[in-house]
A and B are shown apart, each in its own frame.
Chain A
Amino acid sequence: MTPTSDARAAATGDPADILGRLPLDAQLLLRDHIAGLAAEAGSARAAAARSERVRRTETDILIGKLTVARSERDDALARVAELTDQLRARDIPVPPVGISLRRPSR
């Protein structure tokens, strides 16, 4: 015995089939509800994507600043080493470190 389309839809649980078997006025309400939910989800996704773009941009800026700071730090350390070497080459005692490279405690 061939199952009816209603029986097939019920068996597969295909939402489109189930929706298609409802009275038209109920279909309109449900389809609008579904479209509304999809739109809200789309808006939420877009907002999340925008927020992610902002976060990524801010992260990129921070990484850029960190890279610059590290480069400046390395340059400064190289300069310290260079000046230290020059002093030692002239047998001049190297003064003790007066400024800590570590972050000052608050």
Chain B
Amino acid sequence: MTAGALVAVLTVVTDAATEQHLDRTLQSLHGQTDTRWQWCVVVSPSAPAGCVERVRALIAGEPRAVAVYGVTPEPGGLAVQAMTLARAQLVGWLDGGDLLDVSTIAMVRARLAFADWVYTDEGAVDDEGSVVEFWAKPDYAPEWLRSQPYALRFAALPLAVVTELGGLRPRFGTAAWYDLVLRVAARLGPPAHLAGPFYLHGSRGAGAPYVDGDPGDRCAAVAASLEAAGEQVEVSPVEVGVHPMGQRVRRRLQRFPKISLVIPTRASSSMIHGFPRCHAVAFVRSLWTAERYPNLELIVVHDTVTPPDALQEIDDITGGEAVLVPFHGPFHFSRKCNAGALAATGEYLCFLNDDMEVVTSDWLHEMASLLADPGVGAVGARLLFADGTLQHVGHEYNGGHAGHLMFRYGADDLDHGGAAHLTSERSGVTGACMLLRAKDFLQVGGFSEQFPLSYNDVDLSLKIVTAGFRILYTPHATLFHYESQTREPTVTENEMTQIRWRWAEQLHHDPYVNELRQIPLIKARDF
């Protein structure tokens, strides 16, 4: 009695552990307020003896469930077999013991009015049914999905499209479902995101907070999705300690567009790591190495009070290649950056604060490779304070405020889905290190002079996004940023008013930073 089912849920049973908790999964399906589901269970030949009989006994009398013997022990093959049992509008994946909130199927149905496919946030429950972990995911973000399989569980995909795309591909093994989601996303575009713990699984243990399966399978699936789009890439696993976070996609630069580095400065000095440091000089020294990006221009916009010795030193380091642009008037970050941009001749502009230091030598190659995507309008880097904590991993615009995501967190922090460690979309990035095309910068009016000190990067980011581009953050370009060592951080009342006046709507909901991540863990409903 599966005719008219909305969602077919596929489950593969490979061992005693998954079999043991199957009753929980069935209970959560029985609890659905929308009863139009189907459950397709395939039991691996490698499962313990008598397993399929026990599963059949479990589902006895439930016409919406079907259980069969698997014809192969291979995970990919079993998944394909489960798919052949589906008779529904959508298909989704649950492991044995996984749970759906009672309203999940109903909410999926409601969201089909807005998108062709749907995915949910997820959480982990302990044996007593308490939510012990909650993963508040971003809205759809294609680069993030390539970096991390975040929109997989629970995902409901249209069966007709899945069939048209050739279904699951067993060669991707444990990442066969990931491969399918990537192909469906490429075909159908943005899904609807059900925010909240609509999908719950048992705790995966300390080793795998966000992703599981064979990293080789995941990398192969991502590489295949990009090769299908004509991109040649290298994909490697991203791990933080023992924790798998996702993947890194390396795109080979087909050409080296000229990049103008624009550094506003007055060549101030302060103590860093116990030693005096003239920031601009030290930064240029760390930039101008033999491994630097090959097609580079350096624009130094300096106040008239800048010590001539410092400018001479910069000139010496760069072999006379630095373009020195004098700036008259009181400190005005936007004006200084715009003056530098107007003096620049590069196809790309990279705005940099002067109190920085390069950590990853190929930082600019990495950022430029991401900007090669015509859909990307700006790229930001990972910036660390002198003590190694996070200064910048992208902006967050929620609740009417603009701020730095994970500000002052430890560099190895795994919060927010491990976002600090993954190349991924952001609503904005800091002007302390921002790469963008010169023509786009001009087109949107550069840094707004409405914001002399603060929020100029927020405003520029939102202008870039409004122009139809995505903004990316990459942790694979890392620099130290000794922020506010050179001036006191100041926000004027006028800047605050102006940013909220211009971007009232955008500052209230950040699509890439799920507000639910702030809520305390809640008790799971009684299934």
Contact = CB atoms under 8 A, between A and B. Distances in A.
Given A39-B466, A42-B466, A29 B445 contact: yes
A62 interface: no
Contacts of B338: 25, 28
B331 interface: no
B502 A40 contact: yes
Nearest to A44: B504
A43 B450 CA distance: 17
A28 B440 CA distance: 11
A94 B338 CA distance: 90
Nearest to A30: B445
B505 A32 contact: no
A46 B504 contact: yes
Given A25-B342, A28-B342, A47-B504, A39 B445 contact: no
A35 B466 contact: yes
A27 B342 CA distance: 11
A28 B446 CA distance: 6
Interface in A18-37: 24-25, 27-36
A40 B447 CA distance: 17
A38 interface: yes
A80 to B, nearest CB: 40
Contacts of A34: 445
Interface string B445-459: 111111000000000
The A interface is mostly helix, strand or loop, or mixed, namely helix
Interface in B139-154: none
Contact of A29 (B449, B462, B504, B506): B449
A42 B445 contact: no
Contact of A43 (B341, B342, B503): B503
Contacts of A27: 442, 445
Nearest to A43: B504
B444 A32 contact: yes
Contacts, number: 59
B443 interface: yes
A51 B447 CA distance: 32
B463 interface: yes
A25 B450 CA distance: 15
B501 interface: yes
Interface residues of B, number: 21
Nearest to B499: A39
A36 B505 contact: no
Nearest to A47: B504
Nearest to B448: A32
Contacts of B501: 40, 43
Contact of A32 (B341, B449, B466, B506): B449
Contacts of A35: 444-445, 448, 463, 466
B505 A33 contact: no
B285 to A, nearest CB: 31
A58 to B, nearest CB: 21
Contact of B446 (A32, A38, A43): A32
Contacts of A32: 444-450, 463
B445 A33 contact: yes
Contacts of A47: 504-505
B505 A46 contact: yes
A39 B448 CA distance: 13
A39 B442 contact: no
A98 to B, nearest CB: 47
Contact of A31 (B445, B462, B466, B505): B445
A80 B121 CA distance: 55
Contacts of B447: 32
B444 A31 contact: yes
Interface in B442-499: 442-450, 462-463, 466
Interface of B: 338, 341-342, 442-450, 462-463, 466, 501-506
20 contacts: A24-B342, A25-B338, A27-B442, A27-B445, A28-B342, A28-B442, A31-B444, A32-B448, A32-B449, A32-B450, A32-B463, A33-B445, A34-B445, A36-B502, A40-B501, A40-B502, A43-B502, A43-B505, A46-B505, A47-B504
Interface of A: 24-25, 27-36, 38-40, 42-43, 46-47
Given A35-B463, A43-B503, A46-B504, 18 more contacts: A24-B442, A28-B338, A28-B341, A29-B449, A30-B445, A31-B442, A31-B446, A32-B444, A32-B445, A32-B448, A32-B450, A32-B463, A35-B448, A35-B466, A36-B450, A36-B502, A39-B503, A47-B504
